[in-house]
Structure formats: structure tokens, C-alpha cells
Amino acid sequence: MLQRWRGLAARERGMLLLMFLAIVGAGLWVGWWEPLQKQRTHWQGELPRLRAQQQELQGLLSTAQRQQQAAELDTAALRTQLQASGLNRYITLDDAHGRWQLAVRDAPADALWNWLLPVLADPAAPLQELKLERTGDPNMAVARVSGTIVMGQGNGGGGTQ
């Protein structure tokens, strides 16, 4: 191969080198430069869309965090809920040792359950103990209950008894 190369005229060697450089250049263009340009063009179109999505998601996240902070259950909110449902006459709330103890005395069962079920669905108030029994005349149309309800505050655990 080397003898053949030396046997070529200078002009032929120059043309072969030029052709070789053109082929290498075209190969680099097609195999490296053009894909880079396509990728650059693609990301120039995608980045504004992704930035807009990021801003929208940040807005949603901050809204969700504000709602979560506003929805946290505390003793004052629990008392307000009891008063709004008309159960504050029947339930005494004691806030001690990181939990709420509610003493129920002769409360209407339907009103108590209508208030209690949504409250217990909130993970901020896990049920730890529930002891209720029917009180009053068994022939009454509206059942009345008495007993105790113990709920944890925050992420406290505990099962139901």
C-alpha cells in the first residue's frame, strides 16, 4: 500500500488527501454535528414548556402546603367543630399528654357520628380509644350515647380498642 502511495503523483496524493478530508468532514457532520444541532433545537423548544410546568407545579405545591397548614387540627379547631355541630353541650374535651380525651354524656348518636367520622378521617387525629354505649330509654326514636373517645394529636399512633 505504501509503495502504491509513493508511486502516485503529488497532484493525485493531494486529491486523495482532500477527498479523505471531505469524507471525514462529511462523516463528522452527519454523525456528530447534525445530531447535536437537532438536540439543541429540541431543547430550545422544550425548556420554556418545562419551565412553565415547573412554575405551575411550584404554585400548586405552595397552595397545597398552605392548605395543609390551615387544615391542621388543634384543640381550638376541635372545640369550634364541636360547637358548630351542637355537641359542645354533650362532650367535654380534655387536652392532655399529646392526645385529646372526649367525655361524651348522653349525646344524640346521629349528630355524634356525623361529626366524628370526618374528624377521624383526618390523619392529624388518629383514633386511639373508642368506648361508647347507648344510654336512655331503648324505645326512644333518637338514640343517645355516652362514653369516651381518645384521639392522638399529630402523627401519634395507636390502634382502636
pLDDT digits 0-9 by tens, 34-65? 999 999 999 999 999 999 999 999 999 998 88
Q: Whole-prediction pTM value?
A: 0.50
Query: Cα dist. 82→38, 85, 103, 160 in Å?
Result: 64, 5, 12, 22
Q: What digits encode the pLDDT tens for the residues 2-17? A: 899 889 999 999 999 9
Residue 124, pLDDT > 80, answer no
Adjacent-strand bridge partners of 101: 94, 150
Distance CA(131)–CA(73), nearest Å, equals 22
% of the chain with per-residue pLDDT over 70 = 91
Q: Say whether pLDDT at 157 is over 60.
A: no
Angle at 157 between CA 77 and CA 129, to 5 degrees: 75
Average pLDDT, the chain: 86
What pLDDT score was predicted for residue 156? 42
Task: Give the pLDDT confidence score for residue 159 in this predicted structure.
Answer: 41
DSSP single-letter state for residue 156: -
Helix and strand numbers, DSSP H then E, in the chain: 5, 4
Give the DSSP letter of residue 160.
-
**CATH 3.30.70 for the 75-152 domain, yes or no:** yes
Ranges of each domain in the chain = 2-71, 75-152
Tell me which residue of 142, 124, 125, 144 sits closest to 134, measured CA to CA.
Answer: 144
